[in-house]
Structure 1
């Protein structure tokens, strides 16, 4: 009798964690970009565009993911 609930729990654990992690990281990455852009807009629009041009796309993707 003890074996069946344990197995169910293990199966549940296998399915969920990776998907949840990916979604949350994507969500937080998007939020971070939004907040950063908002702050830059408050400071100075020109500096924000300059920084966006200077930053390589690789670093940008690293920050996101």
Structure 2
């Protein structure tokens, strides 16, 4: 799933660690999401959207996979 988490985080001027602390996860989790290596739980996606005051769909863009 594509996302623009790193761009939003950098625009806000916070580190991965600071964002992680704000939403209750580890820095490694934020890093994995930004690198498209981990899809967040629905709960975490909502927390990130709330942190950035936007809709989940504004951060995450599901990519269709060919069958």
Task: Give TM-score scaled by structure 1 length.
Answer: 0.29
Q: Which has the larger radius of gyration?
A: 1
